[in-house]
Amino acid sequence: MQKKESDLLVVSNTELSKRACLITLESKDKLPRINAGQFAELLVPNCSGVYLRRPISIHAVNVQNNSIEFLVQLVGKGTNALANVKQGEIINTVFPLGNGFDVDNMPYRKPLLIGGGIGIAPLYQLGVDMVSKGIQPTFLFGTRTAQDIILKDKYNAVAPLFYTTEDGSFGTKGFVTDHQLMNSELGQFDALYVCGPTPMMKAVVSKAHQAGIDCYVSLEHKMACGLGACLCCVEIVDGTNTCVCKEGPVFKSDRLQWK
Amino acid sequence: MEMKGMNVKIGALECKNPVLTASGTFGYGLEYQDFVDLERLGGFIVKGTTLHHREGNAYPRMAETPSGMLNAVGLQNKGVDHFIEHIYPQIKHLDTNIIVNVSGASIEDYVACAEKIDALDAIPAIELNISCPNVKQGGMAFGVTASGAESVVKAVRQAYHKTLIVKLSPNVTSITDIAKAVEYAGADSVSLINTLLGMAINAETQRPELSTITGGLSGPCVKPIALRMVWQTFNAVRIPIVGIGGIQSATDAIEFILAGATAVEIGTANFVDPNITMKIVDGIADYMQRHRIDNINTLRGALKV
């Protein structure tokens, strides 16, 4: 898959909550093929103290108007600066990076897509692509509190959507692994796709292994190059240090050393 | 566009321009193929290669710093035989200089690795890494004393017959002492600087940012130190110098040449702009035109003091 570096135009930047924004970037040229689960490296414009690009997963792709959506969690200086980028500005972007989800060769009929916090980001396009292939996904998202819930209608338009909140202010109280979909009703699903904080992903993987269900994780490691050159973002996969940026960020969970 | 007057020589190594890439920042060149015409580079230096497979250090291996970054990769590579069997066939046809960065934990390892590379027709030079700060025996033990540097370079010089570049550590009291020892031991060139030993702490978690606690600092923040060391070394040795350290524009590259570098390596900047090397090649040509310089070699060490 051809990677490119180009100046993309900010067509919108919407604040979704105190901790998240949705940035839509438009390309003058026709977009290359982009798979759900791939990511891009965004150069933060005019931000002193931020040297490296920020790896952000691709939330949605619109091939009609050559635009890409990024769901950005505001975690530090770089992402906060991205939240302040205005419509009409330019963000230099390297994309598409990594291997996403292989929807074309997916043997599953009824997968559960599990997102923790901003970990929902790669699951939107995944859900859309699954539906277009006749696969029937279900979303299960966990947040700390009801205030953290974002883009509910957008996801709900794609597939059935369920929530857990840690404080019980919306949906089922607890973690995603406390939801009935992950317990008494888990047997209806033939695969799990998960993205979120590492402890949450590990808990989901553990449930999947116990139940004998295929499980895929999308990892979010600290990265520099995003191209497999610097070897900074490694995870032990198949017993050896492997670049998440190049060989991932999506891995089948049985390849990891997560027990 | 190909430019005249940009070719330089590092020992017997002829480069079409002075722009090389630094080891560990450019993979095996293949990672940058979508962005860079590899044949427009003066050369590229592949990831640090050791005699045996190395897993490298545990994650996390990277921390961003003001105007730079720390890394603690720890020479992860699959070993020289893997390079020869699987990587070399994919890159050997390229019309540029492919230089292998060689690391080791013992003199015997350095020599054995260099001997294997010596046999590869399409590899005209090695860069001997006696300066990796991220592994206990990453060579920095050799690179921080003049006698240690001399002993490893002497041994490799006997076993390796093409251009031998030795990459120096800045984590020393006097880089000129090391450079002189390396020159005396038979090196054709010195490249400098490798990363500076540094550290980053997360005050919230009260933990180090790197699994190894300390790591190597690179990026624009190290450029003034690198320039100073290139200038000092230029005034201390006769062999050509390859300047490295925070270069991210043609202007930066010219500054290193003015300080005495014959060529430069672009490192961390590749992470920020994967196409930076091409911009620097073009920018040097533009600088030469603006300053009416016919031959880049006339600029070397031409600092007006």
Q: pLDDT tens for residues B55-69?
A: 999 999 999 999 999
CB burial readout B250-271, b (16+ within 10 A) else e = bebbbbbbbbbbbbbbbbbbbb
pLDDT reading at B125 higher than 70: yes
Q: For residue B69, which residues of chain A lie inside 8 Å, CB to CB?
A: 51-52, 224
Distance between CA A180 and CA A150 in Å, rounded?
Answer: 22
**What does the domain layout of chain B look like in residue ranges?**
8-299
| Three-class secondary structure of residue A141 per DSSP | strand
What CATH number did the domain enclosing A135 receive?
A: 3.40.50.80
pLDDT reading at B1 higher than 80: no
The residue of chain A with its CA nearest to that of B47 is A229
Confidence of residue B105 (pLDDT cuts 50, 70, 90): confident
A159/A212 same-domain check: yes
Q: Do A49 and B66 touch (CB under 8 A)?
A: yes
Q: Do B55 and A241 touch (CB under 8 A)?
A: yes
A90/A108 same-domain check: no
Q: What is the pLDDT of residue B138?
A: 55
The residue of chain B with its CA nearest to that of A232 is B61
| Three-class secondary structure of residue A13 per DSSP | strand
Distance between CA B277 and CA B300 in Å, rounded?
Answer: 20
Q: Is residue A34 part of a domain?
A: yes
Q: What is the pLDDT of residue A259?
A: 67
Confidence of residue A24 (pLDDT cuts 50, 70, 90): very high
Q: Do A52 and B272 touch (CB under 8 A)?
A: yes
pLDDT reading at B132 higher than 80: no
* Between B118 and B4, residue with greater pLDDT: B118
pLDDT reading at B179 higher than 80: yes
Query: What is the length of chain B?
Result: 305
Indicate the pTM of the whole model: 0.95
Question: How far away is chain A from the Cα of B272, in angstroms, using its nearest Cα?
Answer: 6
Burial class (CB within 10 angstroms; exposed 0-12, middle 13-18, buried 19+) of B289 = exposed
Is residue A5 within 8 angstroms of chain B, CB to CB? yes
Q: Do B59 and A233 touch (CB under 8 A)?
A: yes
Outline where DSSP puts E strands in chain A. 4-17, 20-26, 39-42, 54-62, 67-73, 90-97, 111-116, 138-143, 161-165, 172-173, 191-195, 214-218, 234-237, 240-243, 250-252
Q: What is the pLDDT of residues A38-74, one digit of tens each?
A: 999 999 998 888 999 999 999 999 999 999 999 999 9
Question: How far away is chain B from the Cα of A230, in angstroms, using its nearest Cα?
Answer: 5
Q: Is residue A154 part of a domain?
A: yes
Of the candidates B55, B64, B220, which has its C-beta nearest A240's C-beta?
B55
Is residue A228 within 8 angstroms of chain B, CB to CB? yes
Tell me the backbone φ, ψ of residue A94, rounded to 5 degrees. Answer: -105, 125
Q: What is the pLDDT of residues A122-181, one digit of tens each?
A: 999 999 999 999 999 999 999 999 999 999 999 999 999 999 999 999 999 999 999 999
Those of residues 78-117 in A touching chain B at CB distance below 8 A are: 94
Q: Do B67 and A51 touch (CB under 8 A)?
A: yes
Q: Is residue A53 part of a domain?
A: yes
Mean pLDDT of B19-45: 98
What CATH number did the domain enclosing A89 receive?
A: 2.40.30.10
Q: What is the pLDDT of residue B272?
A: 97
Q: What is the pLDDT of residue B141?
A: 74
A90/A59 same-domain check: yes
- Residue in B98, B101, B53 with CA at minimum distance from that of residue B77: B53
CB B19 within 8 A of CB B284: yes
A207/A127 same-domain check: yes
Q: Domain end: A97, A129, A156, which one?
A: A97
Is residue A257 within 8 angstroms of chain B, CB to CB? no
The residue of chain A with its CA nearest to that of B63 is A222
Q: Do A228 and B27 touch (CB under 8 A)?
A: yes
The fraction of chain B above a pLDDT of 90, given in percent, is 93
Distance between CA A8 and CA A78 in Å, rounded?
Answer: 18
Q: Domain end: A81, A97, A113, which one?
A: A97
Question: How far away is chain A from the Cα of B245, in angstroms, using its nearest Cα?
Answer: 15
A40/A145 same-domain check: no
Mean pLDDT of B23-46: 97
Mean pLDDT of B158-172: 97
A89/A16 same-domain check: yes
Q: What is the pLDDT of residues B239-289, one digit of tens each?
A: 999 999 999 999 999 999 999 999 999 999 999 999 999 999 999 999 999
What are the residues whose beta carbons fall under 8 Å from the beta carbon of B298, sequence distance 6 or more? none
What are the residues whose beta carbons fall under 8 Å from the beta carbon of A172, sequence distance 6 or more? A162, A163, A164, A165, A178, A179, A180
Q: Do B271 and A224 touch (CB under 8 A)?
A: yes
Domain covering B8-299, topology: TIM Barrel (3.20.20)
A90/A107 same-domain check: no
pLDDT reading at B2 higher than 70: no
The residue of chain B with its CA nearest to that of A44 is B272
pLDDT reading at A229 higher than 90: yes
pLDDT reading at B133 higher than 70: no
Q: What is the pLDDT of residue B137?
A: 57
Q: Is residue A236 part of a domain?
A: no
Q: What is the pLDDT of residue A47?
A: 85
Q: Is residue A229 part of a domain?
A: no
Q: What is the pLDDT of residue A46?
A: 80
A52/A124 same-domain check: no
Q: Do B27 and A229 touch (CB under 8 A)?
A: yes
- What is the domain count for chain A? 2
| Average pLDDT of chain A, as a whole number | 96
Size of interface A-B (CB pairs under 8 A): 92
Q: What is the pLDDT of residue A1?
A: 75
In a 13 Å sphere around the CA of B102, the CA atoms on its Cβ side amount to: 33
Is residue A53 within 8 angstroms of chain B, CB to CB? yes
- Catalytic sites of B, residue numbers: 132
- Provide ipTM, 2 decimals: 0.94
The residue of chain A with its CA nearest to that of B27 is A229
Range(s) of the domain holding residue A173: 103-218
Confidence of residue A195 (pLDDT cuts 50, 70, 90): very high
- Residue in B54, B13, B55, B20 with CA at minimum distance from that of residue B36: B20
Q: What is the pLDDT of residue B135?
A: 66
Q: Is residue A253 part of a domain?
A: no
Q: Is residue A129 part of a domain?
A: yes
